[in-house]
Amino acid sequence: MKRRVVITAASAITPIGHGHDDITKSLTQGISGVKKIRKDDVLTDKVDAGVFGTVDYDIPFDFERRYRKTMGPVAFYACQVAKEVLAASGLSQSFVTSGRLGVAFGSIHGSPTVQRNIYKNFYARDGAGYSSIGAVDYLKSMVHTTAVNITRTFGITGRVISSGTACTTSTQSIGFGYEAVKFGLADAMLCGGADEYDTTTVAVFDNLLACSTDFNDRPHLTPRPFDVDRDGLVVGEGAAAVMLETLDSAKKRGAPILGEIIGFACNNNGGDMILPNKDGMTAVIRQGLECAEISHDAIDYISAHATATKMGDAIESQAIREIFGDRPMVTGLKSYMGHTMAACGAIETVMTLYMMADGFVAPTLNLEQVDDRCAGIGHVTELRETDIRIAQIQNFAFGGVNTALIIQRPE
């Protein structure tokens, strides 16, 4: 059984806004969501990075306490975008609870805020700390906290997939959800990813000398994917979700179709845990094209992973150049908001859907002078009013995981 899979709803909470109108305004006006890092009592004074992609606006979390009690900030984000997508999809409550709707959702490691408090309690009270660990602390901090808070809050009883593969988490969520619907294992899948404000993640990348530090006093000028002056990634927060279902069911119930997923691939470099690998990238891109049964020249637009690290952007550019040359338009959307970790693939997918719908391509922000090592691909440096028919969203993660997701504009 192979069924066509479409996206019938999408939503995102990002450093550059919440939902279609705010996000497209930022993308078309070149507004950055990168701000100075907030001081905390643990790490900010110990890391060199001084910026963060920050969600600094109010979000009306109005879940009842019985649902809220097991949510850390990351699950709040996840449940909010899930709520918006469920509402926008128009799926009936009886279908939502039927067992034929599943959830594919993840974060990089649950709620680090809650984990930090657990360890603070452990080590701050001379052995008396153990009993102070709350009954819900694990439920808030476990790696599948986003997925199961969504299922509990909305009564979803279908299959649960909770990928936790760092930067490829939510591309995998969408890809695995696509496969579940395509092959008849579910009739619809709510897919996405989330991550919360977290300075421990900053510390991880800071320690690897991968964080941007040259623009601490001018946050909006970093990250700078593909630019000669790029100096590393900026950690960010956010969440995004999409609803996937079969083309037939979407048509039957008259649901809005935002795009069709026509291909997905995932592989591993089989080697180094950190270094980007051109062979792995080109292989996953080719596998994605093969899955979609299209030629490389059918791709109009590439949402590059483009974290703005020196090596990552150069290797990714080589991979794009090898397969596509300079024909497709290429944007590094992290330039607007930093690297939202587990959420990035889903956020970049939602942004691509918005651009498809509205007929524009956002430029890579802060790309003033293309690094020679990143040249030879179709960099977009100014806002373009143009149609995207087929787009590829590519993401690469620590551990050598690579993903390519291909979506097509509705017919």
Q: How far is the CB of 40 from another protein (least distance, A)?
A: 25
Which amino acid belongs to residue 104? Answer: A
Q: How far is the CB of 83 from another protein (least distance, A)?
A: 19
Q: How far is the CB of 123 from another protein (least distance, A)?
A: 18
Q: How far is the CB of 63 from another protein (least distance, A)?
A: 12
Q: Binders of another protein among 251-310, rule CB under 8 A?
A: none
Asked if 335 contacts 351 with a C-beta cutoff of 8 angstroms, the reply is no
Asked if 211 contacts 49 with a C-beta cutoff of 8 angstroms, the reply is yes
Looking up tokens 């004074």, which residue turns up? 45
Q: Binders of another protein among 37-96, rule CB under 8 A?
A: 65-66, 69-70
- 86 Rama class: left (phi>0) / alpha (psi -120 to 50) / beta: alpha
Q: Which is nearer to another protein, 154 or 360 (CB)?
A: 154
Q: How far is the CB of 62 from another protein (least distance, A)?
A: 13
Q: Which is nearer to another protein, 45 or 126 (CB)?
A: 126
Total binding residues for another protein by CB under 8 A?
A: 10
Helix (H, G, I), strand (E, B) or coil at 273: coil
With residues binned 3-state (H G I as helix, E B as strand, rest as coil), the percentages for the chain, rounded to 5, are 40, 20, 40
Q: Binders of another protein among 101-160, rule CB under 8 A?
A: 131-132, 134-136, 139
Q: Which is nearer to another protein, 66 or 252 (CB)?
A: 66
Q: How far is the CB of 214 from another protein (least distance, A)?
A: 46
User: Buried (b) or exposed (e) across 193-225, using 16+ Cβ within 10 A?
Assistant: bbbbbbbbbbbbbbeeebbbbebeeebebbbbb
Q: How far is the CB of 101 from another protein (least distance, A)?
A: 24
* The token pair that represents 223 in the structure block: 């990250």
Looking up tokens 């949402």, which residue turns up? 303
Q: Which is nearer to another protein, 155 or 271 (CB)?
A: 155
Q: How far is the CB of 135 from another protein (least distance, A)?
A: 3
Q: How far is the CB of 133 from another protein (least distance, A)?
A: 9
Cα distance between residue 193 and residue 78, in whole Å: 7
Q: Which is nearer to another protein, 70 or 168 (CB)?
A: 70
Cα distance between residue 177 and residue 8, in whole Å: 13
Asked if 70 contacts 139 with a C-beta cutoff of 8 angstroms, the reply is yes
Q: Does residue 31 touch another protein according to CB under 8 A?
A: no
Q: Which is nearer to another protein, 65 or 252 (CB)?
A: 65
Q: Which is nearer to another protein, 132 or 282 (CB)?
A: 132
Cα distance between residue 36 and residue 239, in whole Å: 20
- Among 153, 290, 311, 118, smallest CA distance to 232 is for 311
Q: How far is the CB of 266 from another protein (least distance, A)?
A: 35
Q: Which is nearer to another protein, 70 or 173 (CB)?
A: 70
Cα distance between residue 212 and residue 354, in whole Å: 28
Q: Which is nearer to another protein, 139 or 390 (CB)?
A: 139
Q: Which is nearer to another protein, 139 or 161 (CB)?
A: 139
Which amino acid belongs to residue 39? Answer: K
Asked if 395 contacts 347 with a C-beta cutoff of 8 angstroms, the reply is no
Q: How far is the CB of 124 from another protein (least distance, A)?
A: 15
Q: Which is nearer to another protein, 70 or 392 (CB)?
A: 70
**273-280: long-range pairs with CB below 8 Å, 24+:** 273/398, 273/399, 273/400, 274/208, 274/398, 275/311, 276/311, 276/312, 276/315, 276/316, 276/396, 277/315, 277/400, 277/402, 278/315, 278/318, 278/319, 278/322, 280/396, 280/400, 280/402
Chain positions contacting another protein, by CB under 8 A: 65-66, 69-70, 131-132, 134-136, 139
